């Protein structure tokens, strides 16, 4: 059976080397409503400013070199304008309070971040100092151990040399005594053997004629 590499329904072999990718569903992040609230409050404050600007009557009176500005506030024509102005003023106060709260929160966050950074830097400095002290102590201990080991090795070598010298001297003394004993045995007097006296043989008589 042949396999068509271009077949979209063919079974793809599992590659043990290639890691399997796990699909992670993205998490939706809800936006904060604070920017919208601030925008609405700013719009209300702007509306209040515009109402105050166009409902007032500014009269400029010029007397010689002196300029006097007289502002006459007209009573609102309807109760709706008064309510809108009150709402705008309340919104401006709320916006100011929100801005103050945001500034306070930002300042507190900055102070907390500075304190955390300072604490982390101090901890890192303490850890580095402790590591340096431990390394110096370890180096001193290693130097002391090396010196002790060298001294022990020197003492052992000296003791071994003394023992070898004593053994060599004892061996030489034993060899000299053995040589002296051997020479004494060789120089011992030889035993003299006395020969036995010779017995004269009897004379043989001459035969008769």
Q: How confident is the model at residue 44 (pLDDT cuts 50, 70, 90)?
A: very high
Residues 72/57, Cβ–Cβ less than 8 Å: yes
- pTM of the entire predicted model: 0.30
Tens-place pLDDT, residues 96-130: 888 788 778 888 888 888 888 888 888 888 988 88
Please spell the DSSP secondary structure of 7-35, one letter per residue: -TTSPPPP-SSSPPPPP-PPPPPPPPSHH
Residue whose token pair is 């304190």: 115
Question: Rounded distance, CA 106 to CA 95, Å?
Answer: 16
**pLDDT beyond 50 at 4:** yes
92 closest CA partner among 33, 32, 47, 36 = 47
Label residue 76 by pLDDT band (50, 70, 90). very low
Residue 10 and residue 3 in contact, taking contact as beta carbons nearer than 8 Å: yes
Domain ranges of the chain: 35-146
Asked whether 81 and 51 are in contact (CB, 8 A), the reply is yes
């Amino acid at each position: 059976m042949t396999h068509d590499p271009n077949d979209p329904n063919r079974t793809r072999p599992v590659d043990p080397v290639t890691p399997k990718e796990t699909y992670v569903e993205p998490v939706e992040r809800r936006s904060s409503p604070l920017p919208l609230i601030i925008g609405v409050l700013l719009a209300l404050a702007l509306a209040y400013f515009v109402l105050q600007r166009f409902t007032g009557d500014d009269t400029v009176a010029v007397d010689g070199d002196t300029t006097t500005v007289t502002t006459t506030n007209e009573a609102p024509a309807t109760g709706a304008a008064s309510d809108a102005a009150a709402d705008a003023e309340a919104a401006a106060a709320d916006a100011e309070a929100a801005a103050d709260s945001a500034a306070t929160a930002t300042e507190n966050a900055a102070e907390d971040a500075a304190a955390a950074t300072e604490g982390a830097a101090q901890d890192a400095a303490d850890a580095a100092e402790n590591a340096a002290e431990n390394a110096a102590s370890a180096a001193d201990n290693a130097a002391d151990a090396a010196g002790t080991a060298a001294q022990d090795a020197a003492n052992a070598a000296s003791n071994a040399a003394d023992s070898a010298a004593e053994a060599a001297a004892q061996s030489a003394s034993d060899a000299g005594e053995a040589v002296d004993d051997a020479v004494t045995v060789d120089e011992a007097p030889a035993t003299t053997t006395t020969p036995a006296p010779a017995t004269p043989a009897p004379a043989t008589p001459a035969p008769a004629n």
